[in-house]
Amino acid sequence: SDKWGQAEDIVKVFGEECKTPIEKLKKVAEAMVVEMNAGLSSEGGSKLKMLISFVDNLPSGDEKGLFYALDLGGTNFRALRIQLGGKEKGVVKVEAEEVSIPPHLMTGSSHELFDFIATCLAKFVSSEPEEFRPLPGRKRELGFTFSFPVRQTSIASGTLIKWSKGFSIEDVVGEDIVGELTKSLEKIGLDMRVAALINDTVGTVAKARFSNQDVIAGVILGTGTNAAYIEHVNAIPKWQGLPPKSGKMVINMEWGNFYCSYLPLTEYDHALDVASLNPGEQIFEKIISGMYLGDIVRRVLLKLAEEAEFFGDTVPPKLRIPFILRTPDMSAMHHDTSSDLKVVEKKLRDILEIDNTSLKMRKIVVELCDIVSVRGARLAAAAIFGILRKLGRDTVKAGEKQKSVIALDGGLFEHYTIFRTCMENTLKELMGKEAAETIGIEHSNDGSGIGAALLAASQSQYV
Ligand code: ADP
Ligand code: MG
């Protein structure tokens, strides 16, 4: 019918607007390099903050002892206890407890959030085996992964620049994160020293580098997206301190806030941005990461329902609820291999309360999932290509067999197979056949936990 034609047109236009031909991706990567240089030159020089992590030495592998880690930066919060055994034994044991953060704490007050974290941590510490109790006069040491943009003032202090990913607690912005946590720890009498404050991307680099010296960058594709990489200090004009012995510094790019005119943005992306807690910010993150992909699909479905009566003559009310369609559900629909798209049918019924969908309709839903995830995956590949170009590792130099390994982590990368495969293939496409052989993509599990403990260990007061 006429309505069906209208629906097809909406999908077609959306697909066109989301296209990411290789030339466009190269321009995005080029813009990324320009912004990286601008961000490294001066504070506030670019939308890419290129934050100095104060990590100038990565774990050597000799780290030993019991360390704690906290991982805060998405929907869940984790406390970890990690036993390190030095060169021979490596990471001996990891124990972890995961708690989902009550939504009201994500937009409440600072002391409520940090008191909650401290209380969870104290509970976790109380399960510590007797033999690991710190000796008298010693404190437990903690690596704190806090995955929001932080202006570091040392390896163990830094102020929050802004929130993202659904968090918004005004009274912490501009405050020292370690100070806030320490206040809450003292309040409940938990004897612990924050030895390192890091971003999850930095933890991912540290964790991966621990076992593979070819690692040059860490990328997170989870609730949000971001990357960190190892830079030469002489390429960081804004660095005011003495040059570290290693000559290197890990830079937290905060690439979620990247923007350039080549990004394929649509009306749905604009609407999502306007309705978000941080309008105008994290535009790159909003078209790539797990927090948002499902909602972009929902927005297109809503348009189809409103303008083309896609689901019949009334608009399914659930379709109007922001974030009701989560990326894991989108991913499940996208991976549906049954001939009649049973998973899609069930998800539409269970989540959106839409019954009686035809196969033809379900195919369109899958097509939307494909358009949205392929755009995100290809842009993520372009951003990685940008890092490689910045470091001059995008081409093979005659006679050199330099390997470059990118460590990846995050639920989107781990579980959304089509996204991951598309991203890896696009990176190969961008590199070209010969150079692609010098690149490794490695899943670095739990850099935000183990990486934080490793960095706490390398900053320990007691070595
Ligand atoms: P965080 O980024 O919050 O630290 P994770 O790395 O575990 O946490 O990523 C969680 C995110 O990964 C979720 O918000 C979701 O968007 C995405 N995700 C989790 N499972 C899946 C899945 N099966 N398919 C697609 N995306 C998923
Ligand atoms: Mg995480």
Question: Domain for residue 231, yes or no?
Answer: no
The verdict on ipTM greater than 0.90 is: yes
Q: Which of 287, 413, 414 to mutate to test the pocket of ligand 1 (most atoms within 8 A of CB)?
A: 414
Question: Domain for residue 250, yes or no?
Answer: no
Please give the chain's pLDDT, 463 residues, in tens.
689 999 999 999 999 999 999 999 999 999 999 999 999 999 999 999 999 999 998 888 888 999 999 999 887 899 999 999 988 898 999 999 999 999 999 999 999 999 999 999 999 999 999 888 888 889 999 999 999 999 999 999 999 999 999 899 999 999 999 999 999 999 999 989 999 999 999 999 999 998 889 999 999 999 999 999 999 999 999 999 889 999 999 999 999 999 999 999 999 999 999 999 999 999 999 999 999 999 999 999 999 999 999 999 999 999 999 999 999 999 999 999 999 999 999 999 999 999 999 999 999 999 999 999 999 999 999 999 999 999 999 999 877 778 999 999 999 999 999 999 999 999 999 999 999 999 999 999 999 999 999 999 998 888 7
Task: Identify which ligand lies nearest to the alpha carbon of 199.
Answer: 2
Question: Domain for residue 104, yes or no?
Answer: yes
**Boundaries of domain holding 171:** 57-211+446-457
Question: Domain for residue 421, yes or no?
Answer: no
CA dihedral 297, 365, 76, 148 (to 10 degrees): -30
| pTM: predicted TM-score of the whole model, two decimal places | 0.95
| Residue of 46, 53, 78, 140 marked catalytic | 78
Question: Domain for residue 177, yes or no?
Answer: yes
| Residue of 176, 200, 394, 409 marked catalytic | 200
Structurally, how many domains does the chain consist of?
A: 1
Question: Domain for residue 12, yes or no?
Answer: no
Question: Domain for residue 451, yes or no?
Answer: yes
Cα–ligand 1 centroid distance for 219 (angstroms): 14
Nearest CA to ligand 1 atom 16: 290
Question: Domain for residue 184, yes or no?
Answer: yes
Give the residues surrounding ligand 1 with Cβ less than 6 Å away: 73-75, 222-223, 290-291, 327-328, 331, 410-412, 415-416
Contact 326, 291 (CB under 8 A): no
Cα–ligand 2 centroid distance for 164 (angstroms): 13
144: CATH: 3.30.420.40
